[in-house]
Amino acid sequence: MAAINPKRSQRNYQTEDISLSDISSVVSHFYPELNISGYTSVDGTVEFYGRLNSIIDESKTVLDFGAGRAAWFEDDPCHYRRSLRNIRERAGKVVGCDIDDAIFQNNSVDEQVKINLGERLPFEDHSFDVIVSDYTFEHIANPSEVADEFHRILRPGGWICARTPNKYSYISVLTRLIKNAHHAGVLKYAQTNRKEIDVFPTTFLLNSKGDVSKYFDSSRYKDYTYRYEAEPAYYFNSKWVFAPFRTRPEFYLPGVGPQQSLQRSSEC
């Protein structure tokens, strides 16, 4: 697809939701389509939520596990990506839960619930048709207990849809080399649009296909886990850092992108 915006008017290019000042010049250098509508052709959020929306309708009750404050709802300048993530517009009901008080700032869900580590989730058995866990699996320290609780609250035939960094990607490896206490300081430079309030400790106990199979076994679920190669998210605002990890058909780096995990309860 070709889309050209005359240079003389480019500085004034603006839509209702996104302006060029919101777009990283590093990312748009490699993905010029970013200048059209604010997302690249390999945007992982568009891929994940596009697929998620295909299984959600007004008959579904959804749990957003680890929903946080939904920074994207306020901060994402791309209207299309925000619309995809706003599953409340399509689902019958969306409940958000988190261990942090930030959940009460979440305006993207119908109900906010604070949960406690190591405790039973405060939901009745078979409460949800879909459980969404977006970039939270890497923070789970008790995967066995969480998996059991997911199974308890998920309705027969329901879906668990998760997006998480692959355990063996360069980001995951580098993150494990840096102490959790220093993550916020490093991310300030590696991912300049990330706010300190949105940085949490990581464990990487549920971030490979093997981990997923171990805790969500085949006697309970049909596993459709797959890998998706998105553009690098951590690049210190540098083309030199971004370029080697950029997704290209002829330059494939195993484990660069996030892992998408979709499982359906086999008890249909």
Q: Position 136: which residue type?
A: T
pLDDT of residue 260: 61
Strand stretches in 145-223, DSSP E: 154-165, 221-223
pLDDT means over runs of 10, the chain (268 residues): 38 38 73 90 94 96 96 92 96 97 96 95 98 93 95 96 81 59 45 50 86 91 88 65 55 40 63
Cα–chain center distance at 136: 8
Ordered DSSP codes for 79-111: HHHHHHH-GGGTSSEEEEEESSGGGGG--SSSE
Rounded Cα distance between 156 and 221, Å, is 10
CA dihedral 19, 21, 26, 29 (to 10 degrees): 50
Distance in Å from the first CA to the final CA of the chain? 42
Residue in 66, 101, 71 with CA at minimum distance from that of residue 85? 71
Residue whose structure tokens are 């890497």: 138
Q: Identify the pLDDT of residue 188.
A: 46
- Specify the pLDDT at position 27: 86
- Domains belonging to the chain, first-starting first, are 25-265 (3.40.50.150)
Output phi, psi for 42, to 5 deg. Answer: -120, 25
State the pLDDT at residue 254: 34
Confidence at residue 11, expressed as pLDDT on a 0 to 100 scale: 31
pTM over 0.85: no
